[in-house]
Amino acid sequence: MSARSEAVLIDVVRTPVGRGKPGGMLSGVHPVDLAAGVLQALLDRTGLDSAQIDDVLLGCVSQVGDQSSNVARQAVLAAGFAETVPAATIDRQCGSSQQAVHFAAQGIIAGAYDAVIVGGVESMSRVPLGSSAAGGSPMSPRLRERYPEGLVNQGVSAELIAQRWGLDRDALDAYAAESHRRAATAWDEGFFDRAVVPVAEAPGARRDETVRATTASGLAGLQPAFRTDALAARFPDLDWRITPGNSSPLTDGASAALLMSAERAEHLGLTPRARFRAFTVVGDDPLMMLTGPIPATRRILEREGLTIDDLDVYEVNEAFASVPLAWAAELGADAAKLNPRGGAIALGHALGSSGTRLLGTLVDHLEATGGRLGLQTMCEGGGMANATLVERI
């Protein structure tokens, strides 16, 4: 292995996403097998032997039940990989698989890896959101000393963001409806055909189950999802405008990407699709929680000597409509470049899987449009965010 290698993306795949509830189209598929399917797909598409992979790093948020005991290692074995291939599961909340990309690419640049598969999985139908906290609480006595009123769930943070940036209900619903329109158009035009691979255990799952025909007026009738009497008393100025319609839905899905050093790719005769230019991760206010993409973007642009106008596309995870809208307002971003193929409001947010799903959409868009530079950024539980800058080759 050589030091200071260039980290490149060879390929990236994902499953179609299913609704993350009983009866969803992927709810009958064990998450280990969901992840195993995308791992197998990468080998099939590149012709690699699994023994050529140095490590497998998968993101997963709720690491209990069906997703326990290092789900990445279980997926490697279920995929039929050589038993010599190690694996680790990463939790940086919603950015878990994006962080997996960072760890792998940084390891390649440092000369510690030649070839790594990264990705993520989340079956929110089988392992519901919040399962990992069952029977306990992360709010320790010391943490309560620092935050005596307690922290809040992400929906309330999305409400606080909407209030701070003056985003009314009409703006949130209009953004959500546009996300669905863009996603449906992308599917109809075959944009996702390259990235999406079939799920052997669910042969009828061919298209994202979460994309639907909707309008802002149709979303207007939905009720706020996160208001309680106790929270209304704590935050009396909130208008409570975050609904299921302008939030990302609970989702099942898996995604994976193959990263290599440029030297190893050349040796194996594989053509890289993109190179990794820069990475950053930040901490931010844990009460607002979802504002981290703003300082993360500023930091990565400053490090690279770029402005937002130098970028051809930006994928900003749509955990809630208020997140990308506040980000765009702060950065002066072009709305046409923001999640142009739809975002998580339409395409779903299978937590541990979303980072590499966004990476695939980003690179596919750069290739389809001839763009060069793309930014991916993801808000994360606890008030964090990752940002990744990629360059199409």
Q: Looking only at Cα atoms, what is the longest distance across the chain?
A: 63
Can 60 be counted among the known catalytic residues?
Answer: no
Q: What is the mean pLDDT of the chain?
A: 97
- What is the C-alpha separation between 218 and 245, in angstroms, rounded? 9
Q: Please tell me which residue in 30, 60, 102, 379 is annotated as part of the active site.
A: 379
- What is the C-alpha separation between 202 and 69, in angstroms, rounded? 24
Copy the structure tokens of residue 184.
């449906």
Place of tokens 């990475």: 279
Residue 118 bridge partners (DSSP) = 57, 257
- What is the C-alpha separation between 181 and 169, in angstroms, rounded? 18
Q: What is the Cβ-side half-sphere exposure of residue 336, based on CA atoms within 13 angstroms? A: 3
- What is the C-alpha separation between 361 and 342, in angstroms, rounded? 9
- What is the C-alpha separation between 72 and 15, in angstroms, rounded? 16
What crossing angle do the helices spanning 322-331 and 293-304 adopt, rounded to 10°?
A: 40
Convert the pLDDT of each residue in 42-81 to its tens digit.
Answer: 999 999 999 999 999 999 999 999 999 999 999 999 999 9
Per-residue pLDDT at 151: 95
Per-residue pLDDT at 123: 98
- What is the C-alpha separation between 171 and 79, in angstroms, rounded? 44
Confidence of residue 2 (pLDDT cuts 50, 70, 90): very low
Q: What are phi and psi of 210, to 5 degrees?
A: -90, -15
Cβ–Cβ under 8 Å, residues 388 and 375: yes
Per-residue pLDDT at 43: 98
Convert the pLDDT of each residue in 146-165 to its tens digit.
Answer: 999 999 999 999 999 999 99
Average pLDDT over residues 84-93: 98
* Centroid of chain to Cα 189: 23
Q: Please tell me which residue in 94, 102, 180, 365 is annotated as part of the active site.
A: 94
Place of tokens 């002066």: 332
Cβ–Cβ under 8 Å, residues 257 and 117: yes
- What is the C-alpha separation between 316 and 278, in angstroms, rounded? 16
All residues at 6 or more sequence positions from 1 whose CB lies less than 8 Å from its CB, including other chains = 111, 112, 113, 114, 261
- What is the C-alpha separation between 310 and 344, in angstroms, rounded? 24
Can 94 be counted among the known catalytic residues?
Answer: yes
All residues at 6 or more sequence positions from 233 whose CB lies less than 8 Å from its CB, including other chains = none
Copy the structure tokens of residue 193.
């055909």
* Amino acid identity at 184: A
Convert the pLDDT of each residue in 241-293 to its tens digit.
Answer: 999 999 999 999 999 999 999 999 999 999 999 999 999 999 999 999 999 99
Average pLDDT over residues 16-24: 97
Per-residue pLDDT at 213: 93
Residue 385 bridge partners (DSSP) = 282, 379
Convert the pLDDT of each residue in 349-369 to its tens digit.
Answer: 999 999 999 999 999 999 999
User: Is the pLDDT at 3 greater than 70, yes or no?
Assistant: no
**What domains can be seen in the chain, in order of their start residue?**
7-128+249-268 (3.40.47.10)
Per-residue pLDDT at 1: 40
Encode burial over 120-155: b for 16+ CB neighbours within 10 A, e otherwise. Answer: bbbbbbbbbeebbeeeeeeeeeeeeeeeeeebbebb
Cβ–Cβ under 8 Å, residues 313 and 336: no
What one-character DSSP code corresponds to residue 312?
S
Angle CA(291)–CA(208)–CA(333) in degrees, nearest 5?
30
Q: Please tell me which residue in 102, 180, 349, 365 is annotated as part of the active site.
A: 349
Place of tokens 């994976």: 256
CA 93 vs CA 60, 97, 175, 309: distances in Å: 8, 9, 24, 29
Can 349 be counted among the known catalytic residues?
Answer: yes
Q: Kindly give the pairing relationship between strand 55-59 and strand 18-19.
A: unpaired
